[in-house]
């Protein structure tokens, strides 16, 4: 099957049905099923990168005067089980045996897959220790023994003069 690599954000938008057209500076005579793949470009940690996401039908390409490029018109979005793909420029071939159609809508399937994959990519964060002020505000205060403060020493005459000079106004 022919495949097209896009930035992960745009590939995800096509997969969930929010983007019915893709803009390109070039056109192709090819019409028919097209595998939409997310490139490894970093659009953010929450977008799947380097995976095939769905199959669409490329049914027409029109010149867009407004955008000064070609609008590839897409329809019939079919979710697939995402699998890793090495993206390429322009259209390229991907083995049909790798494509397994999903039984859920693309947005639900991608969300479930993303949640599972996220557990692997981003390990759970360790909870930071709360400061005493935060503990007081949240009610999670733990009674702790205060450290004994060292006994105060008598201020010498020299220290008194220095303190006086620092705080006096001339």
Q: What is the pLDDT of residues 47-95, one digit of tens each?
A: 888 899 999 999 999 999 998 999 999 999 998 888 899 989 999 999 9
Q: How confident is the model at residue 43 (pLDDT cuts 50, 70, 90)?
A: confident
Q: What is the pLDDT of residues 104-158, one digit of tens each?
A: 666 666 666 555 554 444 444 555 666 666 666 666 655 555 566 666 677 676 6
Domains along the chain with CATH numbers: 2-121 (2.30.130.30)
Query: What pairs with residue 169 in β-bridges?
Result: none
Burial letters 146-164, b for 16+ CB under 10 A, else e: eeeeeeeeeeeeeeeeeee
Is pLDDT at 167 greater than 90 in this prediction?
Answer: no
Question: Dihedral through CA 92, CA 95, CA 96, CA 101, nearest 10?
Answer: -90
**pTM for this prediction:** 0.64
- Residue scoring higher pLDDT (108 or 17): 17
């Amino acid at each position: 099957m022919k495949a097209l690599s896009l930035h992960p954000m745009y590939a995800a938008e096509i997969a969930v049905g929010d983007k019915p057209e893709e803009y390109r500076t070039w056109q192709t005579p090819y019409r028919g099923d097209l595998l939409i793949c997310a490139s490894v470009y970093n659009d953010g940690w929450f977008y799947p990168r380097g995976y095939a996401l769905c199959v669409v039908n490329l049914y027409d390409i029109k010149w867009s005067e407004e955008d000064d490029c070609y609008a590839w018109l897409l329809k019939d979005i079919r979710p697939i089980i995402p699998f890793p793909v090495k993206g390429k420029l322009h259209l390229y071939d991907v083995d049909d045996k790798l494509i397994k159609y999903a039984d859920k809508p693309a947005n639900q399937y991608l969300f479930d897959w993303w949640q599972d994959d996220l557990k692997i990519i981003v390990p759970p964060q360790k909870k930071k220790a709360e400061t005493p002020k935060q503990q007081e505000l949240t009610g999670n205060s733990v009674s702790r023994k205060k450290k004994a403060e060292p006994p105060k020493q008598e201020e010498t005459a020299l220290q008194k003069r220095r303190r006086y000079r620092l705080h006096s106004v001339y």
